[in-house]
Copies of this chain bind each other. A is one copy, B any other.
């Protein structure tokens, strides 16, 4: 890595903005800000370096300091991130004049890749995040995206979606979100709400409890199992799945991982819960397919760490409900894990459009 850095530094010395060989991808979350420093290796014998040649040089995470104060928008989060980036550069005898661009993934609505419109996790209202970061660093090429969109963009570039032109990446964790990629571009939606499939109301009513993420995200999966274990009446319909190995774990300590692990051991209750989760997710993805008809669904996020067992359940829920032409749409697990966001973010500023 040290050799590559030196070569890249030498290469960039004295060249203009087009020759800059360093860039940042940030994934700003409610708990940590992940910072990826990327570089474009010096050209080899294969002709000019393509955007796909960008490599991760270093990866750092800092704590997200949210603030109740609204008189200094974006602070202290963006200031902390700028300071950390400055340190990472200084350690390599670089500074922001060596940086081609900074891309940011943010867990809220982002308008025109510049302005954040409401982000509850960060305590932000309207924050012109790209402008603020430009001012803090002097870097002129700064772009932001919704974090689910950035993760999808990263997976399309270097992960499970590589080689495909259209994809929907579904992230299943404490909530459910998705990023829609078409012709290698992010579809953000006219109210920055494209891909908000977690808010589909899956039953006839219009109640929040009918939302997909209230049925299939991690807290819902956990609450369902806890309800069954704690209460005889709540177990109605599940009595043929009992006894279960899950009852050996104190209810308050139960995790989604425990449930998926038990399903891999063919515990009847755990298998049933995974099947039900896959069924409702598969139904929701059949709707996505009837609208957008992607080449591939990529399943990521904490719940996806259950692995193939969840993927198979989702596909089993999808196939019988999909329109015939789309029945063979591919399903794959995400490959970049927690790094998808920084890869997608850096791509925002390194990809030629």
User: Are A326 and B191 in contact (CB-based, < 8 A)?
Assistant: yes
Partner of A292, one of B165, B189, B329: B189
User: Are A290 and B323 in contact (CB-based, < 8 A)?
Assistant: no
A190, CB-defined interface residue at 8 Å: yes
| Given A109-B325, A200-B286, A287-B200: A190 touches B293 (CB 8 Å cut-off) | yes
| Given A286-B201, A291-B197, A291-B291: A190 touches B206 (CB 8 Å cut-off) | no
User: Are A323 and B291 in contact (CB-based, < 8 A)?
Assistant: no
How many chain copies does the complex carry? 2
User: Are A293 and B189 in contact (CB-based, < 8 A)?
Assistant: yes
A206–B323 Cα gap in the complex (Å)?
11
Contacts of A325 in B (CB 8 A): 109, 191-193, 196
User: Are A323 and B293 in contact (CB-based, < 8 A)?
Assistant: no
A295, CB-defined interface residue at 8 Å: yes
A289, CB-defined interface residue at 8 Å: yes
User: Are A329 and B191 in contact (CB-based, < 8 A)?
Assistant: yes
User: Are A190 and B165 in contact (CB-based, < 8 A)?
Assistant: yes
User: Are B326 and A180 in contact (CB-based, < 8 A)?
Assistant: no
User: Are A291 and B194 in contact (CB-based, < 8 A)?
Assistant: yes
A199, CB-defined interface residue at 8 Å: yes
A187, CB-defined interface residue at 8 Å: yes
Contacts of A74 in B (CB 8 A): none
**A279's closest neighbor in chain B, by CB?**
B204
A166, CB-defined interface residue at 8 Å: yes
A89, CB-defined interface residue at 8 Å: no
- Residues of A167-201 at the interface with B, using a CB-CB cut-off of 8 Å, are 180, 182, 187-197, 199-201
User: Are A191 and B291 in contact (CB-based, < 8 A)?
Assistant: no
User: Are B180 and A291 in contact (CB-based, < 8 A)?
Assistant: yes
A193–B206 Cα gap in the complex (Å)?
28
Contacts of A292 in B (CB 8 A): 180, 187, 189, 194, 291-292
Partner of A195, one of B166, B194, B197, B291: B291
Contacts of A192 in B (CB 8 A): 293, 325
Given contacts A194-B293, A196-B293, A196-B323, 4 further A-B contacts (CB under 8 A): A180-B292, A190-B329, A196-B325, A199-B290
